[in-house]
């Protein structure tokens, strides 16, 4: 059997004396769309940071496709095929929309730190960036400075940069936060399309999106995974219902 | 700009460099243009760090200066050993020296970004400046290292004795370096420099080590600074310890910033202007550095995009054909601005005269007017110039900004059509 796309082994993280992630073990199978849900402040984003190398874990291990990536810097993890987006938009504000995407493309096409290629002549980089722009519906905004985009457009760009490098494990932290209904629908379609044949880990508050998209759902509460299962079983899980007491209605709602 | 237009721009620049010494043919202007040549390279190399990668360095003269010293030593070795190396390749020696030292010092300093990088660059600058006093063999002590550019292998009968030949050598190297540095901005590496400047964190998550990007940018920048230093050594035929000091490191920051670090052309404008000011102002006034400093402060406060920013701001208005609407406002505001400027210059010059040249007596001359430095009438006139200039400028400024606003709207309307 091939190794899982992502394997977390008893991961812990404390900020000072405050434990935030308290022993998370989780397997995400290859090709799976995995959603992580949980109340505000549960540690979902922190978990993303630990996996992607933004913060070092206090203890525990992270394996990517069987290889140990614990403690590696973000760029090495990215080069091994894991790409992530951020909950708070994290783009290159003074570069144009097109250049933002192209920056996401360059390493994966093997241009590395090249100062012996003229970027305009790199057809593959241009075409790849243009196709991503089409996919995220920003082709018309191509030459606008990214910092001047509207909030929803910046969120779309955030996803675009993340998928640009063609990583096979994609992690999205609340990709649809702050989007309206139709923007959300478009984003979900996009995420479904670009994660075709890839592994997706997504943090999302919108339950209809979660149940629509996910093959499996993990519920993170106060730094621990209290359940990890298929959407149906998660919906029926009493512990999850307990944790989501106030939002039980939204779980029901997602049935519709 | 289209590719064709850009291509023509380079040809035009080359032709201009060939033609300039025939138009400004006095010895002084050929010397000045030579100085501008390597100042442009130096300022552009600095902007690879500041404007393009977001690295504020206070020690960039280290690579310029060491490039100069190594070039001077190389020239002396070549001259003494009659080595068959022609002068035109020597700036490359300077560049390789700059590159080598940038690799050594950059390895340490680019481990950090932001303020820490700036502090380390300052420390390295101080370190090398201190060494220049200790290692007298290499830095030549008080007298510096002198050399002669005419003792190398001569090709095509070029002795490089006459300044005009040196001018063409510098012009050719400058054009090549400007072209190379421009090309650098359009490579994957150049683009990632901008990405690291904008958002280092995100750059790490698209596969790039920001430390490596900073390091490569630093080394490339050190190379071009070294070329500039090598050309300076060839031009002056002497290199003294002061070139690795804090003053030239500060001056290159001023050149790049005043020109405009957000634009490729900015440091070129800055280097040309500041070199001209440095030479011509220092002929007229001992307080010239004060003017340069004031100009820098004003730019930082009111025009952070530099002269290039001020000029390029007008481009959309010019292409929409509405630029002429700004002229009446500019002309109107220019009158009080000139009064204010004249008042400020008179105060500075008179104070400078009283403080520095007191032994010459109070009689002095500024702007073709002779007066007594301690005459109350003169000081009253200065104060009046400044006060009325300032107040009137504040009154006329709304006219300028109003015209600007209208012209922008009009340009937008024309564009929408
Ligand atoms: N750098 C940090 N230093 C100290 N505490 C932090 C840090 N980052 C996060 N925390 C704390 O860790 C806890 C979990 O934060 P995290 O952002 O991971 O939650 P989350 O599940 O993503 O919440 P949300 O749904 O609001 O995005 C919060 O209490 C937060 O205050
Ligand atoms: Mg979060």
Confidence of residue A77 (pLDDT cuts 50, 70, 90): very high
Q: What is the DSSP letter of A145?
A: B
The binding-site residues of ligand 1, defined as CB within 6 angstroms of any ligand atom, are: A 15, 20, 38, 40-46, 87
Does A114 contact B188 at a Cβ distance shorter than 8 Å?
Answer: yes
Q: How far is CA B151 from the centre of its chain?
A: 31
Q: What is the pTM of this model?
A: 0.93
Whole-angstrom Cα distance, residue A126 to residue A65?
30
Confidence of residue B252 (pLDDT cuts 50, 70, 90): very high
CB burial of A195-222 (b: ≥16 within 10 Å; e: otherwise) equals beebbbbbbbbbbbbbbbbbebbbbbbe
Q: Does B202 touch chain A (CB under 8 A)?
A: yes
Q: Residue A8 — φ and ψ, nearest 5°?
A: -105, 130
Over range A199-220, report the average pLDDT. 94
Whether B345 and B271 map to the same domain: the answer is no
Whether B278 and B353 map to the same domain: the answer is no
**Chain A CA closest to residue B197:** A92
Q: What is the DSSP letter of A90?
A: -
Å from A211 to nearest chain B CA? 28
Position A40 scores a pLDDT of 92
Whether B138 and B102 map to the same domain: the answer is yes
Does A112 contact B188 at a Cβ distance shorter than 8 Å?
Answer: yes
Which chain B residues contact residue A115 at CB under 8 A?
Answer: 184, 187-190, 216, 220
Quick one: CA torsion of B5, B10, B14, B16, rounded to 10 degrees? 50
* Residue A213, strand partner residues: none
Does B197 contact A94 at a Cβ distance shorter than 8 Å?
Answer: yes
Whole-angstrom Cα distance, residue B241 to residue B144?
6
Whether B357 and B412 map to the same domain: the answer is yes
Whether B299 and B319 map to the same domain: the answer is no
Whether B14 and B99 map to the same domain: the answer is yes
* Residue B363, strand partner residues: B372
Whether B366 and B231 map to the same domain: the answer is no
The second-level CATH assignment, the architecture, of A1-73+207-256 is 3-Layer(aba) Sandwich (3.40)
Burial class (CB in 10 A: 0-12, 13-18, 19+), B392: middle
CB burial of B148-172 (b: ≥16 within 10 Å; e: otherwise) equals ebbbbeeeeebebeebebbbbbbbb
Whether B58 and B142 map to the same domain: the answer is yes
Whether B192 and B296 map to the same domain: the answer is yes
Whether B58 and B111 map to the same domain: the answer is yes
Over range B30-34, report the average pLDDT. 95
Using CA of residue A149, residue A150, residue A155, residue A156, what is the dihedral sign?
negative
Segments making up each domain of chain A, as ranges: 1-73+207-256
pLDDT in tens, A44-63: 999 999 999 999 999 999 99
Does A91 contact B216 at a Cβ distance shorter than 8 Å?
Answer: no
Position A256 scores a pLDDT of 41
Last residue of a domain, one of B261, B285, B306: B306
Whether B252 and B334 map to the same domain: the answer is no
B6-10, B129-133, B215-219, B373-377: range with lowest mean pLDDT: B373-377
Burial class (CB in 10 A: 0-12, 13-18, 19+), B408: middle
Candidates A41, A85, A178, A244: which one to mutate for ligand 1, based on the most atoms within 8 Å of Cβ?
A41
Whether B319 and B290 map to the same domain: the answer is no
- Residue B178's domain comprises 3-306
Number of domains in chain B: 2
Last residue of a domain, one of B306, B330, B352: B306
Last residue of a domain, one of B244, B273, B306: B306
Residue B62 has pLDDT above 90, yes or no: yes
Nearest partner of B193 among B208, B176, B178, judged by Cα: B208
């Amino acid at each position: 059997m091939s190794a899982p796309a992502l394997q977390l082994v008893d991961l812990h993280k404390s900020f000072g004396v405050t434990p935030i992630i308290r022993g998370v073990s989780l397997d995400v199978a290859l090709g799976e769309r995995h959603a992580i849900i949980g109340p505000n402040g549960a540690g979902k984003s922190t978990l993303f940071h630990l996996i992607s190398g933004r913060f070092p874990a206090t203890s525990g291990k992270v394996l990517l496709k069987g290889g140990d990536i614990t403690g590696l810097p973000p760029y090495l993890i990215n080069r091994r095929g894991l790409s992530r987006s951020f909950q708070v938009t994290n783009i290159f504000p003074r570069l144009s929309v097109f250049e933002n995407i192209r920056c996401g493309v360059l390493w994966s096409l093997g241009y590395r730190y090249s100062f012996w290629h003229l970027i305009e002549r790199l057809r593959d980089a241009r075409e790849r960036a243009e196709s991503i722009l089409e996919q995220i519906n920003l082709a018309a905004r191509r030459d606008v400075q990214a910092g001047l985009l509207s909030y929803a457009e910046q969120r779309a760009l955030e996803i675009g940069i993340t998928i640009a490098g063609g990583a096979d494990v994609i992690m999205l932290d609340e990709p649809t936060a702050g989007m309206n209904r139709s923007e959300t629908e478009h984003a979900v379609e996009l995420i479904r399309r670009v994660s075709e044949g890839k592994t997706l880990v997504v943090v999302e508050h919108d339950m209809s999106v979660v149940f629509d998209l996910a093959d499996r759902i993990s519920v993170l509460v106060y730094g621990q995974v209290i359940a990890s299962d298929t959407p149906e079983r998660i919906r029926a899980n009493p512990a999850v219902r307990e944790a989501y007491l106030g939002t039980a209605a939204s779980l029901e709602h997602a049935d519709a | 700009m289209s590719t064709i237009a850009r291509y023509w721009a380079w040809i035009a620049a080359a032709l201009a460099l060939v033609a300039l010494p025939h138009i400004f043919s006095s010895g002084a202007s050929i010397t000045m243009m030579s100085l501008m040549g390597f100042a442009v390279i130096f300022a552009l190399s600095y902007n690879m760090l500041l404007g393009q990668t977001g690295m504020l360095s206070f020690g960039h003269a280290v690579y310029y200066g060491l490039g100069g010293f190594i070039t001077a030593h190389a020239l002396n070795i070549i001259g003494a050993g009659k080595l068959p190396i022609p002068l035109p390749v020597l700036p490359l020696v300077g560049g390789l020296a700059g590159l080598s030292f940038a690799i050594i010092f950059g390895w340490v300093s680019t481990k950090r970004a932001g303020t820490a990088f700036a502090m380390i660059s300052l420390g390295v600058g101080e370190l090398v400046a201190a060494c220049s006093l200790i290692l007298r063999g290499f830095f030549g002590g008080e007298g510096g290292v002198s050399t002669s550019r005419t003792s190398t292998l001569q090709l095509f009968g070029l002795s490089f004795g006459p300044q005009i030949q040196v001018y063409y050598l510098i012009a050719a190297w400058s054009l090549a370096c400007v072209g190379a540095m421009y090309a650098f901005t359009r490579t994957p590496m150049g683009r990632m420099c901008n990405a690291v400047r904008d958002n280092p964190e995100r750059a790490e998550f698209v596969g790039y080590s920001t430390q490596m990007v900073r390091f490569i940018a630093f080394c490339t920048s050190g190379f071009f600074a070294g070329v500039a230093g090598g050309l300076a050594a060839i031009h002056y035929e002497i290199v003294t310890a002061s070139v690795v000091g804090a003053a030239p490191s500060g001056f290159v920051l001023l050149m790049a910033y005043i020109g405009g670090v957000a634009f490729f052309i900015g440091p070129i404008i800055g280097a040309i202007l500041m070199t001209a000011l440095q030479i011509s102002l220092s002929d007229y006034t001992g307080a010239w550095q004060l003017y340069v400093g004031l100009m820098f402060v004003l730019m930082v406060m009111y025009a952070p995009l530099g002269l290039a920013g001020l000029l390029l701001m007008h481009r959309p208005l010019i292409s929409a054909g509405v630029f002429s609407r700004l002229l009446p406002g500019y002309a109107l505001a220019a009158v009080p601005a000139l009064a204010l400027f004249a008042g400020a210059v008179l105060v500075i010059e008179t104070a400078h005269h009283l403080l520095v040249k007191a032994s010459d007596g109070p009689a002095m001359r500024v702007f073709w007017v002779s007066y007594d430095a301690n005459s109350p009438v003169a000081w009253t006139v200065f104060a009046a110039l400044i006060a009325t200039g300032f107040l009137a400028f504040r009154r006329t400024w709304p006219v300028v900004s109003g015209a600007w606003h209208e012209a922008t709207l009009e340009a937008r309307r024309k564009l929408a059509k």
